[in-house]
Amino acid sequence: MNIAVIGGGRMGAGIAQVFLAAGATVTVQEPEAEAAHARIAKGLRIAEAKAREAASPRAFSADEALGRLTMGLVPEDVDLVVEAVPEDPKVKVEVLAEAEGRAGPRAVLASNTSSLSITELAAGLARPGRLIGMHFFNPVPVQRLVEIVVTAETEPGVQERAKDWVEVIGKTGVVVNDSPGFASSRLGVLLGLEAMRMVEEGVAAPEDIDTAMELGYRHPMGPIKLGDLVGLDVRLAIAEYLHGKLGARFEPPKILRDKVAAGELGRKTGKGFYRWEQEQ
């Protein structure tokens, strides 16, 4: 299994990590290669220790896995290319087109977008039918779901290959037809925006809203804390996109716009609706 990941930030590093842990050969294309390599190595060592402590059947050697990691451009003999760059359609189209030019004809291309139209991203490719969505969730090594997004042009066999890859890395895939926000972001963002409006209106404190959803509805994390974890700037960008596509129910509340304008983006800046310890 030969995998390429474009983007070595939190999401890209997490995707690379889970494929390496599953025995794949992985190439990561990232301008800040040294930082990305260190991020992946740290994640692998943490995951190795946890797997050994739990006597997991998926235990692996971090050093051996790192021996299968290369930092560089997408190779020709790759089976799967996963794009994990920021949620900017122009950037994604550019990197996907470049990847298509480098990868061989058998390769499947995938976008890790959480909301953008796969059909529109594929329009810039010579073979639109080999691009699908593979929406991983943050943090990738922990979250079990991968949303597989197919279009009307998806080529035969591509969906099945994606489901096989998801199974190999120990996750569960759900298949969703291409539509704004797919299934998870469409529902998750709507819940998060309403929770923020409740804070704005003084209905309850963020902690109490989150606790209500965690204990009352068995959500593993409340919608406001999840927004901080994902990044409020990311939440705002997705909400604005869905607002344009699906209408008024996705209009971002003022409190979200204000926090983003103030640079209070959640965990990555140390403050959002909650205060967070800065990562080293």
**Hey, what are 45's tokens?**
């060592």
Question: Which residue type does 135 have?
Answer: H
pLDDT in tens, 144-190: 999 999 999 999 999 999 999 999 999 999 999 999 999 998 999 99
pTM of the model: 0.89
Residue type, 236: L
68, burial (CB in 10 Å: exposed 0-12, middle 13-18, buried 19+): middle
Amino acid at 214: E
Q: pLDDT digits over 211-270, tens only?
A: 999 999 999 899 999 999 989 999 999 999 999 999 999 999 999 999 999 999 999 999
- Average pLDDT estimate for 70-91: 96
The pLDDT assigned to 148 comes to: 98
Place of tokens 């759900």: 174
Mean pLDDT computed over every residue of the chain: 95
Residue 279: the pLDDT is 57
For position 37, what pLDDT does the model report? Answer: 98
Domains of the chain: 2-177 (3.40.50.720), 184-269 (1.10.1040.10)
What kind and span of H or E run contains 233? Answer: helix 232-246
Rounded-to-integer distance, Cα 142 and Cα 18, Å = 9
pLDDT given for residue 138 in this prediction: 85
Confidence of residue 139 (pLDDT cuts 50, 70, 90): confident
Residue-level pLDDT at 277: 87
Q: Give the CA count within 13 Å in the CB-facing half-sphere of 40.
A: 33
Contact assessment for residue 116 and residue 135, using Cβ atoms and an 8 Å cutoff: no
